[in-house]
Structure 1
Amino acid sequence: MPEAPSSRRRNVRFLATVTLVVAALAVALYVAVVALRGGEPASAPAADGVSCTAPPLPPSAFPTFTAAPDASVAAGSSWIADVRSTCGDLTFRLDGRRAPRSVASFVTLARAGYWTDSVCHRLTTDPAPTAFLQCGDPSGRSTAEPGYDLPLENVPADRTYRVGDVGLARGDGFPGTAGEFFVVHRDFTVPAGAPVYSLIGRVTSGQEVVQHIAGLGGEDFRSDGPPFTSISVLSVGVHAG
């Protein structure tokens, strides 16, 4: 005998309730796991082969200087920077000819261990006007400075920054913030009147790490703020190249 309409409705409501309960339990379990892991999802290799480990605590102290390094440190040549991060390694080629003072600063800070266990604290994505992952903050709060500022160098004539470009970040009221650097994950053009940035080089390997972080987006869906997946720089080594 066919099931009565009222009985079918009760069954549908029962199944819907069970589904909602199961979904709620799954969400609760996920939140608990994330909390136990310090606020980050469990690390697992992504489709792009990138996986991340939990970042270390920021250092309690970092080197500071009384003056910017002399441009002669860069020796007007190219340099190789080997960047180890909690999500994989990157390699930069730095242009000491076009950005001698900026590259001299980068080389000096790397040799001093300024970026050891430092945080990549900022990711800009759509609809922000820029598109980069910003790293090099040993304070963990974007308040650290090495003790000097730098003038702008090697700014693109067309004000366009391209995927894989490495540049120096800028602080409010400063021409160039020497301590923090960024890697571009999507081409963008700076509009007239907006701040431009010094270019110091290009990524030669490991760009997939930056694309992976950018693809996961910003914390709380922000287009300019901490990345959803935390990433820190473990160390930076440099040598002439």
Structure 2
Amino acid sequence: MSISRQRANERRRYEKWQQHRLAAAEARRRRQRVIAGSVVAALVLVIGVVAVVALTDENDTPAAPSPSASSETPASALVPDPALAEGRAWTGTIHLAQGDIGVELDGAAAPQAVANFVTLAGQGFFDSTSCHRLTTSGIFVLQCGDPEGTGQGGPGYTWGPIENAPADDMYPAGTIAMARVGDDASSMGSQFFLVYEDSQIPSDSAGGYTVFGHITSGMDVLKAIADAGTVEGTETPVSDVIIKGVETQ
């Protein structure tokens, strides 16, 4: 074989080797791009998981998003429409741990109070709440409807004005009326009181108290709770008075 032909063969072998090397290098680059893409995807997934974890509290309960100004609902918009009272008498039962108390609600005389009570009862708002206050001197009432059991709780809104307050400030035994903060006619929410003995409750500058119904049965249950008395030095009933549920119709 001539030298020139030998060199030509070597050049062709070199060129083939060079092409193979370039192809191998390109294959490596493709594999690296695939690996890099996978790493990025994994990082995105990890970051996403971290972000989700960051939105949970220590008990793994999803944190509530901060409401925007446009999504906030004014408290006044939560107050049930008085028209829900239908201007009629409603009957119902307050199921206490100590026994049942039958009630009749006056949707004509106190439409806002009745609409409020009926709506909350239908939502199960009163279920498992306590009647936290029992007064045994001068004013004789059992106060209920606070989800916190402290006298400070409510449904997240307040309303007024006062409806159907007695002109003589007399609240006969069996009266059902709305509790409120003194001197604030628009501070009613979910708390109400059951009168177990005739009580004269003086009006303040806001007026009297909204009477929205009366007890039709179970006064013996209410009286037994009152007769048991309160924890010494407090207005807390001796025995826990728990509302198991409220039905209205």
Query: How big is each residue's C-alpha offset from its partner over 1:45-102, in whole Å with a ceiling of 9 and x where there is no partner?
Result: xxxxxxxxxxxxxxxxxxx984211110001001112111110011110000000111
Contact 1:161 1:189 in 2 (8 A): yes
Contact 1:166 1:202 in 2 (8 A): yes
User: What's the counterpart of residue 17 of structure 2?
Assistant: none
Query: How big is each residue's C-alpha offset from its partner over 1:13-66, in whole Å with a ceiling of 9 and x where there is no partner?
Result: xxxxxxxxxxxxxxxxxxxxxxxxxxxxxxxxxxxxxxxxxxxxxxxxxxx984
Query: How big is each residue's C-alpha offset from its partner over 1:204-229, in whole Å with a ceiling of 9 and x where there is no partner?
Result: 0111111011111111154xx11112
- Within the alignment, does 1:98 sit opposite 2:98 as a pair? no
Task: Describe the SS at the equivalent of 2:208.
Answer: coil
**Larger Rg over CA atoms:** 2
Task: Describe the SS at the equivalent of 2:119.
Answer: helix
User: What's the counterpart of residue 202 of structure 1?
Assistant: 214
Contact 2:176 2:215 in 1 (8 A): yes
Task: Describe the SS at the equivalent of 2:244.
Answer: strand
Q: How do 1:10-29 and structure 2 match up within 5 A?
A: none
Instruction: Return 5+ residue gaps in structure 1 as ranges.
Output: 1-63
User: What's the counterpart of residue 157 of structure 2?
Assistant: 148
Percentage identity across paired residues of the two chains: 36
Task: Describe the SS at the equivalent of 2:232.
Answer: helix
Q: How do 1:216-227 and structure 2 match up within 5 A?
A: 216-220=228-232, 222=234, 225-227=235-237
Cα distance in 2 for partners of 1:199, 1:212 equals 23
Contact 2:176 2:213 in 1 (8 A): yes
Task: Give the Å deviation of 1:237.
Answer: 1.1
Instruction: Return 5+ residue gaps in structure 2 as ranges.
Output: 1-74
Aligned residue identity for 1:228: V
Aligned residue identity for 2:218: G
Task: Give the Å deviation of 1:192.
Answer: 5.2
Cα distance in 2 for partners of 1:190, 1:84 equals 27
Query: How big is each residue's C-alpha offset from its partner over 1:112-157, in whole Å with a ceiling of 9 and x where there is no partner?
Result: 111010010000111xx42100011222222321122222100011
Segments of 4+ moved more than 6 angstroms: none
User: What's the counterpart of residue 234 of structure 1?
Assistant: 244
Task: Describe the SS at the equivalent of 2:120.
Answer: helix
Aligned residue identity for 2:123: A
Contact 1:119 1:232 in 2 (8 A): yes
Cα distance in 2 for partners of 1:179, 1:119 equals 12
- Within the alignment, does 1:139 sit opposite 2:151 as a pair? no
Contact 2:76 2:158 in 1 (8 A): no
- Aligned residue pairs: how many? 172
Task: Describe the SS at the equivalent of 2:176.
Answer: strand
Aligned residue identity for 1:213: I
Task: Give the Å deviation of 1:172.
Answer: 4.6
Contact 1:65 1:146 in 2 (8 A): no
- Within the alignment, does 1:214 sit opposite 2:226 as a pair? yes
User: What's the counterpart of residue 124 of structure 2?
Assistant: 113
- Within the alignment, does 1:177 sit opposite 2:204 as a pair? no
- Pairing partner for 1:168 from 171, 178, 195: 178
**Change in 2 beyond 3 A, CA 1:235/1:178:** same
Higher relative contact order (CA 8 A, sep 6+): 1
Aligned residue identity for 2:146: D
